[in-house]
Amino acid sequence: MKNSLYIILLIAAPFINAQTALFNSGNLRIHDQGQLGFHTDLINNGSFDENLGLAGFYGTQLIDIRGALMPVLYDVEIANTTGVNLSIAISVTNNTNFITGDFIGPKGQFDISYNFIDDAFTVGESDNSKINSYALINNKQSFAFPVGDAVHLRPLILNSESVNELARCAYFFEDPNNPTAFPPFDTRLKPRTIEAVGTTEFWRLEGNVPSTISLSWNPRSDMATLVPEIERVTIMGWSKTANRWLPLGTSSVGGDLDNGFVNSNSFIPDEYEIITFGNLAEPADVLTLDNYLLTPNGDGINDVLVIEELEESPNNSLRLYDRNGLLVFQMINYRDEFRGFSNVNNLVLNRDQGLPEGIYYYLISMDDLNLNFQGFLYLER
């Protein structure tokens, strides 16, 4: 038989507004197979770690976890219809069993989170029981963040190329144009390859390891208002450097406009503030590139090859060939560098004098938009 310890504090006090709480200022520990049931607040100002048993949060009244020190628990169970409020972060090293109620925290404070450490895992998360706050992972490569809001579970599935020392996620049922915890993210600031950016919900994801993510939608996401068909669904991120929305790519998409999922291409989460859904533009509305004239004579007009459309694709490549098919210039992530000089080691004559006047051919790859272009450049001296 398991050794169980249940603490139910109903402290009588002469004041009608007095609150009950378990106040730990010493060294509290749940031993192997032990069980500690909370029906009252936890104020943790002492050591509450190295646990090997179950900490359960039960009842119908909101339980608050606060104090100076973070509890580090082993197994956790929540069966509280009102939920557990996190005024400080807590960590879990093994199982979290979601039955009823949410772990709730202030989404404007990144440091207050529910932390899954090392091999920690979850069972039972649902619309009725989840994390309505930041969820954090340590030393994990893949994880389904059981995040949501007061009504729905809205998980984000992270698959990284290597182990994340730290990654953090929260969900917001808010318009990115007018969020409560961030400055606005104007959904009009987008590439021409994107018809629209979603205004119903978004996620915040932190992590510095290249990763892919999977997002799903439900009827409340109102996907039919954003896209006419699921083949047009993509994932968008607000770029911290570009200060605009950029597509994170679509590796696969499935379902219908009421319920479905989309998987991204690889990206680094820390390069983006928030993430949401987007609507890919019709192919006819996608970028077209012109033929170009370059006159590098120092008059300030057409002295450098400027391709403005490449601003919409940070991951691009440019190659230039002469009329005989000889490669004379190449650049990854081109940013207005070509001024009529070759930068490759080949048989170009009089390299220091610049390339001769004439027609050249360009090949451009916009990798993050899955677009390729070719055309002509006339170099005039």
Per domain, the residue ranges of the chain are 1-138, 169-286, 287-379
**How far is residue 177 from each of residues 24, 41, 165, 198, measured CA to CA in Å?**
43, 37, 31, 10
Task: Report whether pLDDT(255) > 50.
Answer: yes
Beta bridge partner(s), residue 358: 379
Say what the alpha-carbon torsion angle 83, 89, 95, 96 is, to the nearest 10 degrees. Answer: 20
CA distance 344 to 360: 15
* Chain segment 257-277, per-residue pLDDT in tens: 999 999 999 999 999 999 999
Confidence of residue 3 (pLDDT cuts 50, 70, 90): very low
Per-residue pLDDT reduced to its tens digit, 218-246: 999 999 999 999 999 999 999 999 899 99
CATH no. for 287-379: 2.60.40
Q: Is 276 left (phi over 0), alpha (psi -120 to 50) or beta?
A: beta
pLDDT in tens, 93-134: 999 999 999 999 999 998 999 999 999 999 999 999 999 999
Please, which pLDDT band fits residue 193 given cuts at 50, 70 and 90? confident
Q: What is the pLDDT of residue 2?
A: 38
Residue 17, helix vs strand vs coil? coil
Edge-first strand order for the sheet with 140-145 is 140-145, 156-164, 211-217, 260-263, 252-255
Q: How confident is the model at residue 66 (pLDDT cuts 50, 70, 90)?
A: very high
Q: What pTM was estimated for this model as a whole?
A: 0.74
The helix/strand/coil state of 69 is coil
Contact 108, 127 (CB under 8 A): no
- Residue 377's H or E segment, with its range, is strand 371-379
- pLDDT value for 17: 41
Residue of 91 and 310 predicted with greater confidence: 91
Residue 284 has φ and ψ, to the nearest 5°, of -70, -20
Question: What is the pLDDT of the chain when averaged over all its residues?
Answer: 90
Across 12-21, 47-56, 69-78, least confident range: 12-21
CA separation, residue 161 to residues 10, 77, 251, 275 (Å): 50, 31, 16, 19
Position of tokens 């749940």? Answer: 30
Position 349 scores a pLDDT of 64
Tokens of 246: 């950029």
CA distance 135 to 311: 34
Which residues, other chains included, contact 3 with Cβ-Cβ below 8 Å and sequence gap of 6+?
31, 33, 34
